[in-house]
Structure 1
Amino acid sequence: MSELFDAPSPARLRPALAGVPAYVAGRPAKPIPGLITYKVSSNENPYPPLPSVAAAIAEASGQVNRYPDMMNVALKAAIGESCGFAPASVTVGPGSTGVLAQLIGALCDSGDEVVFAWRSFEAYPILVRLAGATPVMVALNDAGEHDLDAMAAAVTDRTKLVILCTPNNPTGPIITDAAARAFLAKVPAEVVVIIDEAYVEFVRDSDAVASFALQRDYPNVVVTRTFSKAYGLAGLRVGYGLAHPTLAEASNKTSIPFSVNLVAQAAAIASLAARDEIDARVDAIVAERQRVVAGLAEQGWRLPATSANFVYFPLGPDESERFDVTCGDAGLVVRRYGGEGVRVTIGEEAANSRLLEITGRLRSALRT
């Protein structure tokens, strides 16, 4: 059997694939004898599904011999009602990453450019290059924030799309409403601007972008969100976008058939119906974030201001590796970004306390 693959492949792959970086997922936690290990590398919600959501999942699982509703009628109606948008302005996909892929596929051809901050969500350059377009990556400022003036200056007549990630993954800062509006005033109306709000439910800053109002004022704005983080449905993959109906329909056209499965649709609808309970869980995570941020500040760490469910340590190559290894040895699996820094999810209370124990030891060690 192996001899079949000894010869070179006859396939002629797209040249664009040569420039596509590999997506790096958060590592799972490996068992350590005598120690509870925690995976805080993927920004997952530490809580299991609510009982009402678990019941909806169980009921839907008995119907998986049937295809889901390809048009996602009930799901779009529920999202629209929750957000105050007509169903025609709602598009859904397998996670907000799926919605982003659909929008990029609808907008971009070879030679087109997509502007986004860097470092930001790791999928952006992958999705852009897979569409045959060119990523234009604009460096964050020293505070880990979008440099919106530089991003506006990077827009050319080849720019089809700009992506703003707020709070930014992996650094954590928000984009303010005033800054977003000032930016949009500089961007041509035919350039689509996606406001990627995967972590919006964790935001408590009153100055943060009011994305729904912004979308109504600027028809070229699309808001993308997900059920993976605050709603705790990462394993089911369902996200959504809110846009002008023309853009929403274009996103629907580029989605693969039945991209949001039957169980995911049922779980998302049930989660929207249990929003009060979801909000209580999010409040608990935010309280833990505040505890961790305060503890890190007391230890002397100076980190980007986070409004998400994670904190980011902007460290150099050696310090990033030491931080990663030390956490791993202590049963805490974190997400290292090469030699740039380390992101740590706000997880279970015990995991957060262990992080503070580790960072307390590392703070003095990294000075030596």
Structure 2
Amino acid sequence: MNVVPVAEGFARVPVLDVRALMEPSSSVAERLAVATQIGAACRDNGFFYIVGHGVDAGLQQRLEDLSRRFFALPPEEKRAIRMALGGRAWRGYFPVGGELTSGRPDRKEGLYFGAELGDEHPLVRAGTPLHGPNLFPREPAGLREAVLDYMAALTQLAHALMRGIALSLGLDEEYFAARYTSDPLVLFRIFNYPPGPEHADDGQPSWGVGEHTDYGVLTILKQDDVGGLQVKSRAGGQVSWIDAPPVPGSFVCNIGDMLDRMTRGVYRSTPHRVLNRAGRDRLSLPFFFDPSWTAEVRPIEAAALGEAAADDQTERWDGQSVHAFRGTYGDYLLGKVGKVFPDLRAGVLP
């Protein structure tokens, strides 16, 4: 197993070669070596780059090109698949300022996708929020196929990474699949961050997206060459923000609130934010791999975890504890997304 040297100045955001997790011929020792590196990153800051992931570069480039073509369309054409038309499936397009983080509008526009589910699916028939068919635009041609192919490839990658995370915790490789992710809630976003002013009207920084943590288990992010992603660090007891610039051929991975909860805070869901100062559009494609809708997420009792970490509720961006929550992952997610789109929530969610 090879560990790619980190970019200078980013010792807390390692770049890991995960090839051994992707190849069936890899030995247990090779997979454990990768898992050890992933575990160290999860304990240290919850973020790591991955290479050797096997996701087709041509597919990635095709999706990026088609996404840029979509965002270049006139506003009325993009609004033809606006999220209000997606109903309870929570799919479609939103304009700049249409999504909130901590009550403030983000400076980004985006497309929301998820697993493509027909009307006959039991969860769709039951009216379950965030489940259903996607809204795809008429133009550009080929975006539908690229999105579905990409989601399929990243779902396979996410399952492999979760096997590595299980090994890092001293668990059976199929621990998460057996309990939470055999039928994962898969959500995919394509965001465009246009350039903008340094500060909003109230004098605050004009964030592409403000400080936040992700909700589920694992996020796999493809970012373009613009940069702007920042990760919160508490190295040496000092709070600072570390840039996570693009690394060619890589994805950025980070763990979410539910893995934080499962590991009793030993693996932290780390706050991050985006600040686009490049003077041109920034394209970002986060893929969220989450527990199934009805899963009750419980702490893992594993010797490899050691003592639980102190609850960081008072330090979290939203002041909420991921450890005090009781209920299913669907309950947790609804409580979060309803704050992101309050206008849509009123007409869609229970």
TM-score, shorter chain, exceeding 0.5: no
Which has the larger Rg? Answer: 1
TM-score of the superposition, structure 2-length normalised?
Answer: 0.29
TM-score of the superposition, structure 1-length normalised?
Answer: 0.28
Which structure exhibits the higher relative contact order, with contacts defined as CA atoms closer than 8 Å and separated by 6 or more residues? Answer: 1
